[in-house]
Amino acid sequence: MSTRKKTSPIKTSIKSKSPANAPSKQIKRPAKVKKKSSYASAGVDVALGNEVKSGIGALVRPTHGAEVLGGIGGFGGLFRPDFKKRGVKDPVLVSSVDGVGTKLKIAFATDRHDTIGADLVNHCVNDIAVTGARPLFFLDYIAAAKLDPNVLRQIITGLSRACKEAGCALIGGETAQMPGLYAKGEYDLAGSITGLVDRKALLDGSRVKVGDALIGLPSNGLHTNGYSLARKVLFDLLGLKLTDRPAGLGATLADELLKVHRSYLPAFEKISTMKKAPLHAAAHITGGGLIDNLPRILPEKCDAVIDPRSWKVPAIFGIIGRGGNVDPMEMYQVFNMGIGMVLVVPGKRSKRIAKSLGGTIIGSVTKGTGIVRFAPEPGK
């Protein structure tokens, strides 16, 4: 993946070969004709691409610290981690890559692109945080049929803002023009993150045991998953518009569906300061919901038993579930249902930890076969 490049104007000088004492002549030069390049005629405007990318440095530079070497414009981003300063003796690098799915369709429809970049960064930050890692640097990929300077600026502003909040350097990325692959006004957005954890602090599920409690940290909506089903129900089946305010929602659908995916990094940083390392494991509740994500951190002989009555499910999920007549169990497998992160902690300390983090005890770990069980089942 290449990093974005700044382009500089090429300066040329013309020296006359005429003798110094030669009489001056007025030379008529043909008028300059701007000729459209063959590549631009095919739909890829290199000049436009360079123009669009020229202001990126100013946006991403605030995310850089002493560990970032060089600037924007090389073939690769350079990052020299200071393990000693970070207090890491046995460093393990953790990486992840993701996108934001069809939530992009909402950004296209509203022409609001300043939140979608933050969605991407926060999603990736959460994905590595569950291993105990803290973010080091981030790379993004933006592709469209034709680059729009205003849209690109909004996206990168969101990326930079979220990276700065997470203490993560945005050290490079790629922008691509691919006519014929994307519809007019649409684009794709993806990103990769690399983080760091000391091996002794690595969370891999091996510490989870029977009697542990499950603390649910609240989501602020759909985050970045389930938008294909949500759009089908809300717009196709119910015939709603983005400007509508369905009963109980308290916001327009546009505002609700564009809420930024919450970052749980502050919660991880807070729990890491508690005595006796109380965090046994964590699961980011994304696509697959509680049903598919919790088993990823469960030992083979343990189950996660969840009480769906223990927290209040946000109104948007009720609107989708009722409007699409979606089976309650399927709702818990498609959406986060109001729980964006689950922390596994010792049962005896769970109440105090939950209160400190603003979370709710939603269940416990019992003997089993590595699955999620609801007691009672949703909808019953």
**Structural domains for the chain:** 44-201 (3.30.1330.10), 213-374 (3.90.650.10)
Distances (CA, A) of 205 to 129, 132, 283: 13, 11, 10
Instruction: Tell me what pLDDT residue 58 has.
Output: 86
Query: Omega before 376 cis (within 30°)?
Result: yes
> Tens digit of pLDDT per residue, the chain (380 long)?
444 443 333 333 333 333 444 444 444 444 554 566 766 766 667 666 666 666 788 889 999 999 999 877 778 999 999 999 999 999 999 999 999 999 999 999 999 999 999 999 999 999 999 999 999 999 999 999 998 999 999 999 999 999 999 999 999 999 999 999 999 999 999 999 999 999 999 999 999 999 999 999 999 999 999 999 999 999 999 999 999 999 999 899 999 999 999 999 999 999 999 998 899 999 999 999 999 999 999 999 999 999 999 999 999 999 999 999 999 999 999 999 999 999 999 999 999 999 999 999 999 999 999 999 999 999 87
Q: How many CB atoms lie within 10 A of CB 156?
A: 24
From CA 72, how far away is CA 170, in angstroms rounded? 10
From CA 195, how far away is CA 202, in angstroms rounded? 12
Residues forming beta bridges with residue 197, ordered by sequence position = 92
From CA 228, how far away is CA 225, in angstroms rounded? 8
Instruction: Tell me what pLDDT residue 37 has.
Output: 72
Instruction: Tell me what pLDDT residue 227 has.
Output: 98
Instruction: Tell me what pLDDT residue 22 has.
Output: 42
At which residue do the structure tokens 């069809």 appear? 102
What's the half-sphere exposure (Cβ side, CA atoms, 13 Å) at 151?
Answer: 22
Helices (H), 195-311: 227-231, 253-257, 265-271, 289-293
Instruction: Tell me what pLDDT residue 380 has.
Output: 74
Is-contact 284 293, C-beta < 8 A?
yes
Distances (CA, A) of 276 to 157, 205, 238, 251, 345: 39, 17, 51, 42, 11
Instruction: Tell me what pLDDT residue 8 has.
Output: 35
Instruction: Tell me what pLDDT residue 294 has.
Output: 98
Is-contact 336 225, C-beta < 8 A?
yes
Any residues with CB less than 8 A from the CB of 239 and at least 6 apart, and which?
A: none
Which residue, among 98, 73, 49, 32, has the nearest Cα to 286 in the 3D structure? 98
The total number of residues written for the chain in this structure:
380
From CA 55, how far away is CA 78, in angstroms rounded? 20
Instruction: Tell me what pLDDT residue 119 has.
Output: 98
From CA 116, how far away is CA 151, in angstroms rounded? 11
What's the Rg (C-alpha) of the chain? Answer: 26
Q: What is the pLDDT of residues 40-72, one digit of tens each?
A: 766 667 666 666 666 788 889 999 999 999 877
